Structure 1
Amino acid sequence: MQPEKRSFFTTRFIQFLGGKNLLFGLITLLLVGCIIFVYDKISFIFYPIVVFLRTVVLPVILALILYYLLRPVLHLLMKWKIPKIWAILIIYIAGIGIISLFVTLIFPFLKEQFMNLIQEFPNYFMQVVHSVQNLIETSSFGETLAKYNFNLNQVLNNISNQLNSTVKGAAKGLGTGIASGITGFISTLTGIIVAIVTVPFILFYLLKDGEKLPKYALNLLPPRMRDDTAYVLHKADHQISSYIQGQILVAICIGIMVTIGFLIIGLDYAVVLGVLAMVTSVVPYLGPIIAVTPAAIIAIVNAPLMLLKLVVVWTIVQFVEGKFISPQIMGKSLHVHPITIIFVLLTAGSIFGVPGVILGIPGYAVLKVLVTHLFYLFKKRYNRYTDDKALEYELEDWKKED
């Protein structure tokens, strides 16, 4: 009996890559590329779908954020033997009450303080510039500049003139572009109105049936794919909920501590600067830099001693947040290196703007869960086709993970 002739698809390496399935996969990939090329040439047909997605994305994202924030409250009310529908109704009534109090009592004060800060901030900035200019001119560095005929006053005047011309040009362009921009304004306003109207309805059904959606999606998949998909969905849900809940709570704590600290040292616009610190702290690493810059400018104008007080307050806030608040609230659930966070923020911000900066980290966390599990499946397949047991991967039992 002659030995069976080995073909290209029966070699161990090709079998590891998938055998004949590899050929089918490459052909499928080629067909997908051709389809994408054809659809790119007729992309105008899908413009209504793009508009629909742009309209739906904002309310869905807002509803998901509120869902992850309110889901622990819903579970707590249900533990108290309150039916789910009544628990959701209680949450809505409490939310309406909080929003009403904010609009009637807090918002007018914040609006007045914020408008005053916007009007006076250019004066604060110019005073800092003049202070730095005087410091340079009276120092040895000023003598060095004079030695090389470097006129600092002329440079500052040029910068000021360029800023003025830029502002005037923008105003002129705004005047001539009102007609062309009114369509965009109406589109943006429509999106905001749709989001405000639809978010409560989407949130209601998420709170009511949100935990049933993964089970429904799993039933649509083949049985052998359900375990892996359920694991990925569970880990992604845990990552998103941990990040959103933790980041919001940390931001509130930072805002309260910064406001109290600024009020104690007597810094102008303490409440507005505290709210700014709370909002910007949602963005890791970059947020605190954005928040402390206007506070530092105002402190320098008030008095050099105020700047020292500001540094003390900010140091205490960052120490308490880093050593006590974040470890207790956030823990280490994301397992993302700080350098990776910075790269993700810069990349997502460049591609998607402000939404990318806000949603970049949870999006990366979900993508990391998916890629990690795909690599786990790859290791299982590798072990199946290797002869040397010493070269096998060590496979963790992911079913035992939290």
Structure 2
Amino acid sequence: MLQSKYFRTSLAIIAFLTILYLGSKVIFLFNPLINIFNLLLVPMMLSGFFYYLLRPLVKFLERKKVNRALAILLIYLAIVGIFVLFWMLVWPTLREQIQNFINNTPYLVQDIQSQITRLQNEPALSRFFQQDVELTSKITEYLNRAITWVTNSMTNLIGVVSSIFVVIATLPIILYYMLKDGHKLNPILVGIVPRKFRKEGHDTLKEIDSALSGFIVTRVLLNVILGVMLYIGFLLIGLPYALLLAVISIPLNFIPYVGSLLAAVPVVIVGFIESPTMAIWSVVIIIVAQQIQDNVLSPVIYGKSLDVHPLTTVLLVLIGGDFYGIIGVLIALPVYMILKIIVLKVYNIIVAERGEDIRTLEDEQM
């Protein structure tokens, strides 16, 4: 029976399920490790994000014969200078728009209802609203929900920023050592791999590093360009809170596909409160900017480095959000890219070994 492949496979499955069952009974032993993981996840994720974003600058300065530690400190000084410029030039306008939006939030529902009433009084639309009164009430209900979602999102965002302020304070320290000693990690990881597969392990780590670097850098570049295009478009049509809405759209668009829809919700609401025509023009601006990003900029900047089907991306976002909330949504695609590279590399190794075994067997038979 032990020579039967089916029997050995069944025993392996039973052993694996037994280990999972016993592990579930002592899960409390792993709670300290889980707490440490949750504590370190956000600062490590942010540090990794900025590591790939700033590493090209560090390498550029090193090529100019600048010491690595000094190059990192120079980049830190440049970042401080950017924040100072932001605080002096952008923050006053942004703060004013945030305060105005918060002050006008209680009147948003009334403004929406007045706009719907005005549409009902239009001769061209009056018959439509009279024939379907329930539709009008549903529109008001959905818009009220959208306003509540936007208000709660801003409140939750402020709460999240406040709660992780202490964690973010450790970010520069972690990032400094990642930029300084990050190049030493690959040899350590390759040393863990068996000697037979060290070349494949080195190639896999190099491919993962290249994929993550390209994804993060290009994603940041595309989202910043998109935010600038939206801001210019909002200014051209005279949309209120133009800077605030453009700034909100930049982080939301880091969420693939779903993020663009979430970013459009507050824009359409603000535009509709101003006038239905303004809402239509806001949608036009969003669509034009998204089309430029997807069809003009993305193929040039991304190329074929992100070979992920759109349906796969949507499923990854849903699964990541269900498992780990907003953090899961943000890391779902990078984690998928890493796992895809590893699985393909392991598959190629297995196929190559089977090919060698077949050739060896044929040589022996000859």
Q: Structure 2-normalised TM-score?
A: 0.81
Partner of 1:73: 57
1:72-91 equivalences under 5 Å are 72-91=56-75
Number of residue pairs matched? 345
SS in 2 for 1:284: coil
Alignment partners' CA distance in 2, 1:90 and 1:145: 64
CA contact (8 A) 1:145 1:151 kept: yes
Q: Could you tell me how far 1:97 is from its partner in structure 2?
A: 2.2
Greater mean alpha carbon deviation, residues 332-341 or residues 108-117: 108-117
Match of 1:319 among 291, 300, 303: 291
Matched, 1:351 2:323: yes
Partner of 2:199: 227
SS in 2 for 1:353: helix
1:1-400 equivalences under 5 Å are 9=3, 14=5, 23=8, 30-121=14-105, 123-132=107-116, 135=119, 139-145=126-132, 192-193=165-166, 195-384=167-356
Change (3 A) 1:130 1:378: farther
Q: Which amino acid in structure 1 is aligned with residue 93 of structure 2?
A: F
Change (3 A) 1:47 1:312: closer
CA contact (8 A) 2:231 2:243 kept: yes
SS in 2 for 1:116: helix
Greater mean alpha carbon deviation, residues 41-50 or residues 29-38: 29-38
Alignment partners' CA distance in 2, 1:353 and 1:375: 31
Q: Which amino acid in structure 1 is aligned with residue 34 of structure 2?
A: V
Alignment partners' CA distance in 2, 1:70 and 1:382: 42
Alignment partners' CA distance in 2, 1:264 and 1:145: 35
List per-residue Cα deviations over 1:370-398 (Å, max 9, x = no partner). 122222233224434669xxxxxxxxxxx
Identity %: 29
Q: Which amino acid in structure 2 is aligned with residue 330 of structure 1?
A: Y
Change (3 A) 1:156 1:63: closer
Q: Which amino acid in structure 2 is aligned with residue 90 of structure 1?
A: L
SS in 1 for 2:343: helix
Q: Could you tell me how far 1:115 is from its partner in structure 2?
A: 3.2
Alignment partners' CA distance in 1, 2:297 and 2:130: 49
List per-residue Cα deviations over 1:96-150 (Å, max 9, x = no partner). 222333345533432331232234245345433454466569644545457xxx6
Change (3 A) 1:328 1:122: farther
Q: Structure 1-normalised TM-score?
A: 0.75
Change (3 A) 1:142 1:95: closer
Larger CA Rg, structure 1 vs 2 = 1
CA contact (8 A) 1:125 1:297 kept: no
Alignment partners' CA distance in 2, 1:74 and 1:151: 57
CA RMSD of aligned residues (A): 3.4
Q: Could you tell me how far 1:273 is from its partner in structure 2?
A: 0.9
Greater mean alpha carbon deviation, residues 373-382 or residues 260-269: 373-382
Q: Which amino acid in structure 2 is aligned with residue 359 of structure 1?
A: I
Q: Could you tell me how far 1:269 is from its partner in structure 2?
A: 0.6
Unaligned stretches of 5+ residues in structure 2 = 153-158, 360-366
Change (3 A) 1:34 1:311: closer
Alignment partners' CA distance in 1, 2:14 and 2:261: 47
Moved beyond 6 Å, runs of 4+: 150-153, 187-190
Q: Which amino acid in structure 2 is aligned with residue 68 of structure 1?
A: Y
Unaligned stretches of 5+ residues in structure 1 = 1-6, 171-184, 388-402
